[in-house]
Structure 1
Amino acid sequence: MKAQHFVVVLLLVSNITLSSGFLDMFVAAASVVYTYFERDDLLPFDSKRLEADLRENFFGQHIASNVIQRAVSSFMTDSNPNKPLVLSFHGTSGTGKNHASKIIARNVYEKGENSKHVHLFISEHHFPHTKNLRLHSAHLKQQIHESVSRFPRSMFIFDEMEKMQPQLIDAIKPFLDYNARVDGVSFRKAIFIFLSNADGNVITGVTLDFWRKGIHREKIWMDSNELEIKISENIFNDKKGGFLRSSIIDEHLIDHCIPFLPLEMKHVRQCVLVQMAHLNITQDFDLADQVARDMPYFPKEERVFAVKGCKSVRQKLSLYID
């Protein structure tokens, strides 16, 4: 029911008679209150919908799909979580980290990534000058605090975490802790997602080791060759990354460090078919094969894993169509 209709019905039921001018003012005030409490963009969470979305639109990342589905479902169905959900995605460019965050967003909010409750921060774009770190930190803390005070189920995505200054990472830290309450606002229902390319070489190395041993890529799991431990150690010891000097890692505030494996040609082909659908092109499997084959792969001779993942697939496809 619209706020205006609600107020008019209320007045009629209460037999209250007001002048037109006062009624307009009353309706305007009621609209503000109604909008404040209205949860118009939060979807009723459906674990099966998220599972299907990941299965149909997220290719070649069986580890990430499994962890995301279970972690997000458990968090969203918990009426009283003891901390925010904190996910950290790791892998080389083009393996689907941004895409996965968009899938989560569209299963939480009606408008998905375009929701006013989804906040994206790109390190070099939003925090470009190290000399302004104090100002950046203050603004970041204010924005997170105000967003969650208005809407507890807010989502924050931080891209290029490997380039983020440790002072900025520590500015986020108070909001991630157990039973976090900052200046009277609880952050336990918020979602924080970190995206990083920093551990791509570690993840690629493990994947290549399995391939050289003749072990199928889908046999890799979080405990394979101590993959999760290697990722955590690499984050902590990376002298170029802000995590090294941040307290987020050693205080164990990240719930899941999720590896994104290098993609194979069959996965790139799936991405090409999706782009055909987005461009309203009739699906052409032979063309999809050709576009996928023409992307760069490594090792150079065997051409097993895509150098750029699914990044620039649309641009490559455009070369083959009118």
Structure 2
Amino acid sequence: MAPVRRSGPGTWLFLLPLAAPLLHVALSVEPISMGIAIAAASAITGYISFPELYCGRLVECCRVEEPLNGTALQNDLKEKLFGQHLAQEVIYRALMGFMSNDNPKKPLALSLHGWTGTGKNFVSKIIVENLYPAGMKSKFVHLFVSTVHFPHNNLLSLYKDQLQSWIRGNTSRCARSIFIFDEMDKLHPGLIDSIKPFLDYYENLDGVSYRKALFIFLSNAGGDLINRRMLELWNEGRKREDLELRDVENVLSVGLFNNKNNGFWHSALIEKNLIDYFVPFLPLEFSHVKKCVLAELRHRDLEEDEELASRVAKEMTYSPKEQKLFSDKGCKTVAAKLSLHL
């Protein structure tokens, strides 16, 4: 097997022995012969277009002009993401507006913030799967985890060069590339500024346009600010659905910019307003954790059991100690807790 290309930091993508000859044949057949073959196949199996046959069955293609199915995205956000009315609304509007714009002024940059287990990674997966059927396995989706890919402080200069080269190379191959940065709260301050040119309002840099790329930043930083605001709402007798984006977005950006313990500390991305949306993920309550348990039962093809779901949800720890309002780990350990009861 021969390596074809890097599919992610530190990994190589290989062609299987049987797949390589088939792909070689498909790529080497002249267009007329391929057309005859498709016509013959269509007569037997029904109409199949060349892009559908080639991109859907032979290889994964970068289909920049592929429209986003807004109904499917909206359903996924509503049915799979619990207790996050702000994230549902903001992400839906942001993606629909960006994907329907044939000539965006800059890439879309989303920064997702909140406690662990509130759904940041999960919603990233939903976004990716609605853009690329292969989901996180797509060769056009690139995940960076700060503690894995950028672990050493003394290699900061090297990381900056490698990160710029990786983004430049992959975007030149596919304008609709997706870059996800996880654990931003553990990223070395200053490293993320190396991608500032790619997020700015440039038509192109050295012949490459980054305007149709998507950048997603995930961080626990700011979670305490969001939770504090939620507790204030509760003390005022208001519902969580009363919280609006404007109530926390500015507090988030200012707090992140001035916090030394996260990758956005004094970041030019915030200073130059290159982050399009700071998306708050609210702390989950008992009812949301219970929904997570029921969803996990469905995922395991088991019958939904309200009593069991309540028992598992009650075993989670909640804070503050007096009110016990918010799940300390969100839905992160639900699967493990459920397994103890099955």
* Interval of TM-score (by shorter of Structure 1 and Structure 2): 0.7 to 0.9
Tell me which residue corresponds to 2:199.
Answer: 176
Higher mean C-alpha deviation, range 2-11 or range 75-84: 2-11
Opposite residue 130 of structure 1, the aligned amino acid is N
User: 2:30 matched to 1:9?
Assistant: no
The residue identity in structure 2 corresponding to 1:105 is V
Count, aligned residues: 299
Query: Which residue of structure 2 aligns with residue 133 of structure 1?
Result: 156
Aligned counterpart, 2:288: 267
Q: Kindly tell me: are residues 233 and 39 of structure 1, through their superposed partners in 2, closer, same or farther at Cα, counting changes over 3 Å?
A: closer
Structure 2 residue aligned with 1:235: 256
- Alpha-carbon offset, residue 165 of structure 1: 1.7
Q: Would the aligned equivalents of 2:140 and 2:170 in 1 still touch at CA under 8 Å?
A: yes
How many Å apart are 1:213 and its aligned residue? 1.2
* Counterpart position of 1:77: 100
Give yes or no for the alignment of 1:247 onto 2:268.
Answer: yes
Distance 1:39 1:89 in 2: 25
Shift of 1:55: 0.6
For residues 156 and 314 of structure 1, the distance between their equivalents in structure 2, rounded to whole angstroms, comes to: 28
Q: CA deviation at 1:242?
A: 2.9
In terms of mean alpha carbon deviation, does 292-301 or 102-111 score higher? 292-301
SS of residue matched to 2:109: strand
Q: What residue identity is the alignment partner of 1:303?
A: K
Q: What TM-score results when the alignment is normalised by the length of structure 1? A: 0.87
Structure 1 residue runs of 4+, over 3 Å off?
2-8, 35-44
Question: Is the aligned partner of 1:149 residue 2:161?
Answer: no
Contact 1:84–1:189 (8 Å) recurs in 2: yes
Displacement of 1:179: 2.6
Task: Supply the distance in 2 between the matched residues of 1:41 and 1:121 (Cα, whole angstroms).
Answer: 22
* SS in structure 2 of the partner of residue 316 of structure 1: helix
**Are the aligned partners of 1:120 and 1:159 in contact in 2 as well (CA < 8 Å)?**
yes
* Alpha-carbon distance change, 265 to 10 in structure 1, aligned in 2, over 3 angstroms: closer
> What do the CA deviations read for 1:270-295 (whole angstroms, capped 9, x no partner)?
11111112222221111011111111
**1: CA distance, partners of 2:176 / 2:64:** 10
Q: Report what 2:329 is aligned to.
A: 308
- Indicate the RMSD between aligned Cα atoms, in angstroms: 2.3
TM-score normalised to the size of structure 2? 0.82
Letter in structure 2 aligned against 1:295: M
Of 187, 190, 204 in structure 1, the residue corresponding to residue 210 of structure 2 is: 187
Distance 1:240 1:172, change over 3 A: same
The yes-or-no answer on 1:282 pairing with 2:282 is: no
Tell me if the contact between 1:42 and 1:110 (Cα under 8 Å) persists in the aligned partners.
Answer: no
**Residue number in structure 2 paired with 1:294:** 315
Q: Secondary structure at the match of 1:158?
A: strand
Cα distance in 2 for partners of 1:220, 1:11 equals 56
In structure 1, distance between residues paired with 2:62 and 2:94:
23
Q: Is the 8 A contact 1:204 1:261 kept in 2?
A: yes
**Paired residue type of 1:217:** R
Could you tell me which runs of 5 or more consecutive residues in structure 2 were left unpaired when the two chains were aligned. 1-25, 37-53
Instruction: Give the C-alpha shift of residue 4 in structure 1.
Output: 5.2
Matched AA of 2:258: N
Q: Is the 8 A contact 1:83 1:189 kept in 2?
A: yes
Deviates more, 1:306-315 or 1:131-140: 131-140
Q: State the alpha-carbon separation in 1 of the partners of residues 95 and 121 from structure 2.
A: 16
Q: What's the secondary structure of 1:88's corresponding residue?
A: strand
Match of 1:24 in 2: none
Give 3-state SS (helix, strand or coil) of 2:103's partner. Answer: coil
Alpha-carbon offset, residue 5 of structure 1:
5.4
Partners of 2:244 and 2:197 in 1: CA distance: 31
Query: Residues 95, 8 of structure 1: CA spacing in aligned structure 2 closer, same or farther, 3 A cutoff?
Result: same
Percent identity among equivalent residues?
Answer: 47
Question: In structure 2, what is the equivalent of residue 320 of structure 1?
Answer: 341
Cα deviation per residue 1:237-270 (whole Å; 9 max; x = unaligned)? Answer: 1022232232111100000001111011111111
